Amino acid sequence: MKFKLIVTFFFVFLGSSLFAQIPGLERVEPAFWWVGMKDPKLQLLIHGNNIAASSVKLNYPGVKLTEVHKVENPNYLFLDLEIAPSAKPGSFPIVFSASGQQNLQFKYELKARNLAANRAQGVTSKDLIYLLMPDRFSNGDKSNDVVKGMEETTLNRDSIYQRHGGDIQGLMNHLGYLKDLGVTAVWMTPEIENNQPHASYHGYAVTDYYKIDPRFGTNELYKAYVEKCHAMGLKVIKDLVHNHIGTESWLIKDMPMKDWVHQWPKYTNSNFRDAAVMDPHASFIDKKIMLDGWFDHSMADMNESNPYVQNYLTQNHIWWVEYTGLDGFRLDTYPYNDAAYMADWAKKVKAEFPHFSIYGETLVWSVANQAYFTQGNTVNRGFDTQLPGVTDGQIKDAINEALNGKNGWTDGVNRLYSIVAQDFLYQDATRNVIFLDNHDMSRFYSVVGEDFNKYKAGMALLLTMRGIPQMYYGDEILMKNFSNPDGLVRLDFPGGWPGDQVNKFTAADRTEKENEAFNYVQKLANYRKNSTALQTGKLMQYIPQNSVYVYFRYDRQKTVMVVYNSNETPSAITTDRFTERTAGFTKALNVMTGEQLNSISNLGLPAKSVTILELK
């Protein structure tokens, strides 16, 4: 949608002030809340035709209506409530009155918080994340494939841009597959409503913040999904988009105020240059376009300096955690957000859920650029961002270079060594999410030229390196393709649909090579699940020599030695230079082959391979 149409929406709704009647309320958000929250303040968004003409009253012990805000659009009111610690769970009417009209009442409910130990437990370096796109993973409920009345009602699995019918029930049907693989946390791309006319499957153009997309399921089903995951020992990550909103959202078609989103004289894209945010020499306009420019014609840029926007987004995200008990947030397009607001947002989320995990997507061009956005860098920012970790694209690029590049002073495997050496820039690099690919980039198996040795080496580096490892759906069965166009890396998981000719969820339908890949990942992932050294142990690395890179993961219980031979031919090394970590050890177990080594003084290394040794 063109920007000029949105400006038109704004001026059209101003005309609604001519109406005197109070029809039914269209929205009260959040529709319910909880007692016992750390923050006693709550701001309700009320939406209805000319609702601003109403006076508002409520009466409930422990709940005080402190202020009623009228804004530019008379179809909105914002109510400030204060909920005392003494308030009890229960319901009460919020009464809207207008002269000469019948009163309207909304029954508002305050619920008791669920304080179970397995809720909002956080995702850490002990976990392995599995990322999937619900529309492309599995169709478990064909009745919601097409929902009448929505903007996009086509279903075409032959198109990489149209919806394919995957849903939350489909994922729930295959949680056992993920558990068996060794996964401990599941991240879906946004499952929130995206009622857009085109390519609404990806989820990044939200149109209703409080509603699961009906083509994926319902709010109740999503809650049941989180509960089932927790019962199986799996954690859940929710993907959030602070930066932008779908232009078909009701909040855009009838905006509360003109500056709900960033307005420009004509349509203006972000320049996508994160350096402008941190550059001490940057021009004002470059920084403004980076932060306030739109992500796409169909994705309006939210004005996060607007206090009503801030309250709305923060409360919505807290609402989803308390409602479902999910365990972590992945924050889309993090560098494009208002930094001061995001710091305040993170403080408020952490206050309610102390163990909850947060990491931001930062697809930027250096370690310094990534670290700039993380918490603890107060010298550079002047304040603390409160962002524990980021998606570590620099490790991803370095692993690819280590596998594909020719060795030089900072090339080949030396790139990986030098990137890890810059961990001093982070408060804690183990909170970063490390990965080989995702839904926005070429699949890993294709990046390494479908070289199976490189594939295994990459998976081994991913699952033994510091940080929180994340896999992309289908990597374990050698799904491939390049990201131009993006849809090619978002193909359906074979077997996820009734009638699929093959079912890659089962070993019987996988090829010999696919089973070898699956079994390799499964064995290492489950070993990692039981190895505190790989989960939370320290890392010590050695400067690569002769194109061989060695690092150790260790704690009081165990020491694991990881050796990557990046040569195209077999190599051999002596281990005397590693005595700082090998002293006292004389034997080892090859984790992947099961071979027992009675001596570790000399090691033979296959070409383009990672050898993982548990020292004895």
**Cα four-point dihedral sign 422, 425, 430, 432:** negative
Q: What is the DSSP string of 276-288?
A: HHH-TT--HHHHH
Rounded-to-10 torsion of CA 228, 234, 235, 237? -80
Report the C-alpha gap between 93 and 82 in whole angstroms.
16
Strands 104-111 and 32-34: parallel
Angle CA(275)–CA(377)–CA(542) in degrees, nearest 5? 90
- Catalytic one of 248, 361, 401, 514: 361
Helix (H, G, I), strand (E, B) or coil at 379: helix
CA quadruple 101, 33, 111, 189: dihedral sign: positive
Bond from prior residue into 494 cis (ω within 30 degrees of 0): no
Residues 6+ apart with CB under 8 A from 583: none
Query: Catalytic residue among 135, 322, 332, 338, which?
Result: 332
Cα dihedral value 257, 262, 263, 269, nearest 10: -150
Check if 361 is active-site. Answer: yes
d(CA 417, CA 411): 10
CA dihedral 599, 600, 602, 603 (to 10 degrees): 110
CA distances from 186 to 132, 396, 431, 471, 531 (A): 8, 20, 17, 10, 20
Burial 275-304 (b: 16+ CB within 10 A, else e): bbbbeeeeeeeebbbbbbbbbeebbbbbbb
Beta strands 433-435; 468-472: pairing state:
parallel
User: Burial code of 66-77, b = ≥16 C-beta within 10 A, e = fewer?
Assistant: eebbebbbbbbb
H or E element that contains 413: helix 413-420
DSSP 565-600: E-SSS-EEEE-GGGHHHHTT---EEETTT-PEES--
Has 191 been annotated as catalytic? no
Task: Work out whether strand 235-240 and strand 559-565 pair parallel, antiparallel, or are unpaired.
Answer: unpaired
**Do the beta carbons of residue 190 and residue 206 sit within 8 Å?**
yes
- Tell me which residue of 487, 494, 484, 481 sits closest to 447, measured CA to CA: 481
> Which residues are marked as active site?
332, 361
